Amino acid sequence: MATTKAELGDSIRERVRCALKQQPQPTVTVLSSLLAVQDAIHYLPDEAIEETAGFCKASVNEVWSVASFYTNFRFTPPGAHVIEVCWGPSCHLAGAQGVLAAVQQELNLFREGETDDRRATLRYNTCLGACALAPVISIDHHLKGRITAGDAKDLAGGLLVD
């Protein structure tokens, strides 16, 4: 039996509530709550904004103003895998443009976002924190350093088939 939209919404709300309650730090804010929810479910659906408002005793507009201010929050579900290509200064000097072009070609995706089949999300990053290993990409938060365009192409292609 297929899951209804209402059931899916209830399931998301339950996961959001759990993430909100499990924040370990003594001071809980709207921002910390949104970060906890995004860590747990990887994006902020409408249910997350509403539940965060209730939890923090804030209005939906107040929560939305915080969520929309920070570019790292996303409001649609990510793809099954996330590949980030660093184009910061060190990576740029070490050949990031070729790496990025190879990934874009392989995913047939020439902007940040999801592939049509939602197998992969492509994101750009201004520094993945491993400049000594430039050029660097990240796949599902695992860094790959001194990457070549060929390696990047193979890794990106692997995301589409597993």
Binding status of residue 105 toward ligand FES by CB under 6 A = no
**Min separation Cβ 155 and ligand FES, Å:** 16
Measured from the CB atom, is 23 or 90 closer to ligand FES?
90
Three-state SS sequence of 92-159: HHCCHHHHHHHHHHHHCCCCCEECCCCCEEEEEECCCCCHHHCCCEEECCEEECCCCHHHHHHHHHHH
> Which residue's CB comes closest to ligand FES?
88
**Selected range binding ligand FES among 22-30, 34-42, 47-55, 82-90, rule: CB under 6 A:** 82-90
Burial class (CB in 10 A: 0-12, 13-18, 19+), 136: buried
Which residue stretch of 22-30, 47-55, 60-68, 127-135 sits at the interface with ligand FES (rule: CB under 6 A)?
A: 127-135
For residues 35 and 130, which CB has a smaller minimum distance to ligand FES in the complex? 130
Q: Which is nearer to ligand FES, 23 or 125 (CB)?
A: 125
At its nearest, how many Å lie between ligand FES and the CB of residue 92? 7
Minimum Å gap between C-beta 100 and ligand FES is: 11
Beta bridge pairs of residue 124: 85
Secondary structure class of 31 (helix, strand, coil): helix
**Is 131 a residue that touches ligand FES (CB under 6 A)?**
yes
Which stretch in 29-37, 39-47, 51-59, 128-136 sits in contact with ligand FES by CB under 6 A?
A: 128-136
Compute how many other C-beta atoms are within 10 angstroms of the C-beta atom of residue 126: 10
Q: By C-alpha distance, which of 124, 130, 131 is closest to 101? A: 124
The amino acid that residue 73 corresponds to is: F
Burial class (CB in 10 A: 0-12, 13-18, 19+), 142: exposed
Binding site for ligand FES (CB under 6 A): 86, 88-91, 127-131, 134, 136
